[in-house]
Amino acid sequence: MEAVDVSRALGTGRFSGASAAFAASASATTLTAWVRLAQSMLADLTWPPSTASTGNAVTYVLAHRGDHDAVLERLSTCSAVTTLGERTARPKYAEWWDMRRLYGFSEDHWSRQHGARRDVRVAVCLATDLIWLGYSDGLLAARNVVRLPLELDCRAFGATLHTWAIEDYPALAVALGAALTNLGGQAMPCIAFEAVLTELLLPHVVDDADSVAKEQVARAAKRCSQRIIAMLAASDDPPLTGPQVAGSILEVVGEEIPSLHVRQRIDPILDFERAAARLVSQALTDPGELPQVESALNQLARGVLI
């Protein structure tokens, strides 16, 4: 997909070629259309939220319920109804309100003067969330095939996010970052990332019925997603890497849920790596310990080689 500089539009409030982009979004049935839709909404800040945007929100909710057939049906409907003529149609405020609530805003916030800009930002979030949908679905499906320790799950999330944000949709990642962080000091939540992170973290809690632990996981997922978004928004060329994301997640999880009982399924190679690093560091600090370190390393190696 061609990269689009949505972040610039977010910053300036204007974007040329809005009508053309919007027209394209009406007929196309690919993800490009959703990117263009976000572009067009960014371009015209006075444009009230349309049924297409509302459709996005409903689709989003359906998608997170795992009803992919309904998602596709809804999307095709959206593409069909989103015509230029509807740009002037009166928005369905009731549904729009639901969508705003989805992103955590109270009625007071939405009645203030910056509503239009907020609408645009919400639209960007929705567009990016939709694109993220396939990635999160694949990530969780593959997670269910091979269960891994928490650290490897976080690394897998980092690798997937890196593919999405750096390789496939970099402009959207930047736009999302800007949309979520530059709102008068008020951060919007990124529910799609949060949802996936929560799904990834929850199986590592010993007692699934423990509601306190679940709340802690939800809080950690929220903070993780905010930190990731902040990284995305850091520059036009995001310095984000898979290890950075995973490192950040692990840091936040450690800070937020110190009592998180991670299931004791220790990966033998990870365990070996860590134990070996400790031993080698001991040998480098005190070469007098070398014989003991070497013997311990041999023992470790035998354990992992068997």
By residue count, the chain amounts to: 306
Q: Among 305, 200, 196, 195, which residue's Cα sits nearest to residue 262?
A: 200
| Member of 214, 227, 241, 260 binding another protein (CB under 8 A) | 241
Residue 131 CB, shortest distance to another protein, in Å, is 7
Residue 274 near another protein by CB under 8 A: yes
Q: What residues between 198 and 237 interact with another protein by CB under 8 A?
A: 237
Q: How far apart are CA 27 and CA 36, in angstroms?
A: 11
Long-range contacts of 243-247 (CB under 8 A, 24+ apart): 243/155, 243/158, 244/158, 245/157, 245/158, 245/161, 245/162, 246/151, 246/154, 246/155, 246/157, 246/158, 246/159, 247/158
Exposure b/e, 234-259, CB count within 10 A at least 16 = b: eeeebebebebbbebbbebbeebbee
| Member of 207, 208, 210, 251 binding another protein (CB under 8 A) | 251
Q: What residues between 14 and 53 interact with another protein by CB under 8 A?
A: 29-31, 33
Residue 238 CB, shortest distance to another protein, in Å, is 10
Q: Among 242, 241, 248, which residue's Cα sits nearest to residue 226?
A: 248
Residue 232 in contact with residue 238, Cβ under 8 Å? Answer: yes
Residue 247 near another protein by CB under 8 A: yes
Q: How far apart are CA 74 and CA 252, in angstroms?
A: 36
- Interface with another protein by CB under 8 A: which range of 97-105, 111-119, 121-129, 243-251? 243-251
Residue 89 near another protein by CB under 8 A: no
Residue 288 near another protein by CB under 8 A: no
- Tokens at residue 114, please? 């910056």
Q: What residues between 140 and 199 interact with another protein by CB under 8 A?
A: 141-143, 145-146, 148, 152, 155-156, 158-160, 162-164, 167-168
Residue 77 near another protein by CB under 8 A: no
Residue 272 near another protein by CB under 8 A: yes
For helices 115-145 and 150-162, give the axis angle rounded to 10 degrees.
Answer: 130
Q: How far apart are CA 124 and CA 169, in angstroms?
A: 13
Q: What residues between 50 and 69 interact with another protein by CB under 8 A?
A: 68
Residue 44 CB, shortest distance to another protein, in Å, is 24
Residue 115 CB, shortest distance to another protein, in Å, is 29
Select 180 or 279, whichever has its Cβ closest to another protein.
279
| Member of 187, 218, 244, 260 binding another protein (CB under 8 A) | 244
Judged by the rule CB under 8 A, the positions of this chain that interact with another protein are 1, 29-31, 33, 68, 71-72, 75-76, 131, 133-139, 141-143, 145-146, 148, 152, 155-156, 158-160, 162-164, 167-168, 237, 239, 241-244, 246-248, 250-251, 267, 269-270, 272-274, 276-277, 279-281, 283-284, 287, 290, 293-294, 297, 300-301, 304-305
